[in-house]
Amino acid sequence: MTQTTQRAINLPSGDVIPVVGLGTWGMAEDVRRRDEEIAALRLGLDLGMHMIDTAETYADGAAERLVGEVIRGRRDEVFIVDKVSPTNASATGAVNACERSLRRLGTDRIDLFLLHWRGSVPLEETITAMTTLVTEGRIRHWGVSNFDLPDLVELTSLPGGTAVEANQVLYNLGNRGIEWELLPRCREAGLPVMAYSPLGRGRVLGDPALREVAIRHDAKPAQVALAWTLRQEGVCAIPKASTPGHIQDLWGAFDLRLSGDDLTMLDRAFPPPNGQTTLEML
């Protein structure tokens, strides 16, 4: 099996992460699919997709246990992204949640630990927990998810808040709101944007324009949709791929370069934002 070194982007700390990781949202929910899901994630690692994204809320922790099985014996190959829920994001709660996640993953460290979305816990407490976890070596970096620009501005104004390393948000052809202000400001600050659901949960894949572009490149619509997301500087993506066939499809997006005509056609089918909108979430 051929392993290819895929493109990477820099975290503010200087560490690098792959431009495509393996999402696990919706996995580990059906025991009958477990072997296939494990095979898919292992194939992704074999091909060189060395980032896996999960969260404590996915299948009530079962997705973390699934990831733990996948990475057993090859932990050092993988950049693990995990997320703490807002209800557990207090100064002590996030530390305890991280410990539970580490046990389910079967590892001694999480590479990037995100606040899954903003809740009622003051950001100061979450920053305190994240700082403690970094200091103690239980996480290497921390970041946020589903943060709009005002949230990021508030976060980085707080003591320790500038240590944030990434913002994971919804971004795909059908959800382009971040292009108006959030994405440019993140790029200006050197803060990577991690696009979740970059295939729009499959909803965009039947669009005629997307299919026409795919035909031009002898590619599949999913490959075009992912290549479109990755065209942006400072953006990485974490598509879910729960079968080996899906993994192979995603791998085909790495060498796909969209032309100006392709992008114009996709802009007509999926117009970019013409003003500020509320950050979309799933």
Instruction: Note whether residue 81 is domain-resident.
Output: yes
217 located within any domain: yes
Residue 201 located in a structural domain: yes
Q: Is residue 192 part of a domain?
A: yes
What confidence tens digit (pLDDT) does each residue in 15-37 have? 999 999 999 999 999 999 999 99
What letter represents residue 140's amino acid?
A: R
Range 236-269 burial, b when 16+ CB lie within 10 A, else e: bbbbbbbebebbebbbbbbebebeeebeebbeee
Three-class secondary structure of residue 156 per DSSP: helix
Q: Report pLDDT for 6.
A: 63
Domain of residue 125 covers 16-269
pLDDT of residue 141: 98
* Alpha-carbon gap, residue 43 to 65, rounded angstroms: 18
User: Annotated catalytic, 196?
Assistant: no
User: Which tens digits make up the pLDDT trace of 216-268?
Assistant: 999 999 999 999 999 999 999 999 888 998 898 888 888 899 999 999 999 99
pLDDT at 4 over 70: no
pTM for the predicted model, two decimal places: 0.95
Sheet holding 167-170, edge to edge: 22-23, 51-53, 79-84, 110-115, 139-145, 167-170, 193-196, 235-238
| Structure confidence by residue, pLDDT tens digits, 95-130 | 999 999 999 999 999 999 999 999 999 999 999 999
Mean pLDDT in residue range 64-85: 97
Three-class SS state of 206: coil
CATH label of the domain that carries residue 64: 3.20.20.100
- Domain-located, residue 274: no
What is the rounded distance in angstroms from the CA atom of residue 256 to the CA atom of residue 226? 9
Q: Does residue 11 surpass a pLDDT of 60?
A: yes
Share of the chain above pLDDT 70, in %: 98
The reply to whether 217 sits in an annotated binding site is: no
For residue 245, being part of any structural domain is answered with yes
Question: In the chain, how many domains are there?
Answer: 1
pLDDT for position 1: 44
**249 falls within a domain:** yes
On whether residue 164 sits in a domain, the answer given is: yes
Catalytic residue among 9, 21, 52, 58: 58
The first and second tokens of residue 6, run together, are 């895929």
64-68, 91-95, 117-121, 199-203: the lowest-pLDDT one: 199-203
